[in-house]
Amino acid sequence: MYVSNIKLRNYRNYSNADINFGKNINIIYGDNAQGKTNILESIYLFATGKSHRTNKDKELIKFDHEYANLKINFYNKNGLNSGEMILDQNQKKRIKINTVPINRLGELMGFLNAVLFAPEDLNLIKEGPSQRRRFLDIFISQLRPNYFYNLQQYIKVLEQRNNLLKTINLQKSSQSRHMLQDTLSIWDEKLVEHGSNIMLNRTVFIKKLKEYAKKIHLNITQEMEQLEVEYLPNVKMNHMEDLTAIKDLFQKRLNEKKKKELNTGVTLIGPHRDDIHFVVNNMPVKNYGSQGQQRTVIFSLKMAQMEFMKEDLGEYPVLLLDDIMSELDHNRQDYIIRNISDKQVFITCTDIDRFEKDHNTTFFRIENGTVFEGG
């Protein structure tokens, strides 16, 4: 899989850019704040439908403009594909896949596959569980669009159920409370249906991802460090690959917590409270790992994603490395350079001395939203 061309109009600091990429290594370099990351972000948009830097599409539109237009061409094992995205100040974004408009963001999932490694990915370890769930959700959604559907439905049901719990909690009359409580089972059923599918997919994916990550991490650290990736589901059971068993236990836990939920007005059970832990040599990386160890764990995780997706898709996804080369020591940098020759890779950096100028590498210099090809 490789991106051959992208066109950006009124996107971030680009007025009108038309860029043809190489099939292998693409080095995007220049001083800070010139627009290097914006190019990677635009590619990532076609993979996930969202920016990794903001939740607001309007922030992607060039200042003082009404809309932005992005077009992409890429090749996968089935041939040439095209995508178009229009971001508007006054409307929701419009997307076309191979000239056909799509109505739901879920239809974009699996269109272009990409793995992004950026400095803010350290938050996967440093921040709370929501960051780790988001990583997992984006990863699985690219490979299993139905997972994205279940996730969207679960979020909607969770919001409705929480609103109902709050409403019940505010009722002064016991009769009104009981009448509303009778409707809770409807939302319970939907919550269990979508939530159990989410947990099953997370279990299966982490089981395979952790094996890839462990091997890669051992290789990078010269077998000095053993990495374990642990899935910590909110609904804990021994048979997490049995959908019926997950549903039964999920429903049981909801029933056990119902009284407390009615008092707090919040759903206390479900995959919205799942977490992932990273452990190196039996020590939690979040609490005891150095910054270098934390970076290496994330790097191992991202490279594991690549291998997982290659096995699942039959081809590598596009790899986006946003300003991370300077953050890695020479061992990690060497590992990247040794292991990217058979993939399309985009690397943003300020210094290009580390990279050889050969037929496999294409250089782009960025200066204030203008692209100049050549190293």
For residues 340 and 5, what is the distance between their CA atoms, to the nearest angstrom? 20
Fold classification of 122-316 is Glutathione S-transferase Yfyf (Class Pi); Chain A, domain 2 (1.20.1050)
* Arithmetic mean of pLDDT, 64-70: 95
The reported pTM is 0.93
* Arithmetic mean of pLDDT, 355-362: 84
* Arithmetic mean of pLDDT, 45-58: 92
* Residue 8: per-residue pLDDT: 98
Backbone angles phi, psi at 80, to 5 degrees: -80, 140
For residues 120 and 156, what is the distance between their CA atoms, to the nearest angstrom? 28
- What is the 3-class SS of the chain, one letter each residue? CEEEEEEEEEECCEEEEEEECCCCEEEEECCCCCCHHHHHHHHHHHHHCCCCCCCCHHHHECCCCCEEEEEEEEEECCEEEEEEEEEECCCCCEEEECCEECCCHHHHCCCCCEEEECHHHHHHHHCCHHHHHHHHHHHHHHHCHHHHHHHHHHHHHHHHHHHHHHHHHHCCCHHHHHHHHCCHHHHHHHHHHHHHHHHHHHHHHHHHHHHHHHHHHHHHCCCCCCEEEEEECCCCCCCCCCHHHHHHHHHHHHHHHHHHHHHHCCCCCCHHHCEEEEEECCEEHHHHCCHHHHHHHHHHHHHHHHHHHHHHHCCCCEEEEECCHHHCCHHHHHHHHHCCCCCCEEEEECCCCCCCCCCCEEEEEEECCEEEECC
pLDDT in tens, 187-218: 999 999 999 999 999 999 999 999 999 999 99
* Residue 336: per-residue pLDDT: 79
- Superfamily of domain covering 1-113+317-375: P-loop containing nucleotide triphosphate hydrolases (3.40.50.300)
What share of the chain in percent tops pLDDT 90?
77
Segments making up each domain of the chain, as ranges: 1-113+317-375, 122-316
For 12: left if phi > 0, alpha if psi spans -120 to 50, otherwise beta; the answer is left
* Residue 45: per-residue pLDDT: 96
Band the pLDDT of 375: cuts 50, 70, 90: low
- pLDDT surpasses 80 at 328: no
Band the pLDDT of 356: cuts 50, 70, 90: confident
Structure tokens at 175: 């009769």
* Residue 342: per-residue pLDDT: 85
* Residue 359: per-residue pLDDT: 77
pLDDT in tens, 90-106: 999 999 999 999 999 99
* Arithmetic mean of pLDDT, 251-274: 95
Q: Among 14-28, 114-128, 146-160, whose mean pLDDT is lowest?
A: 114-128
* Arithmetic mean of pLDDT, 347-372: 89
State the chain's mean pLDDT as an integer: 92
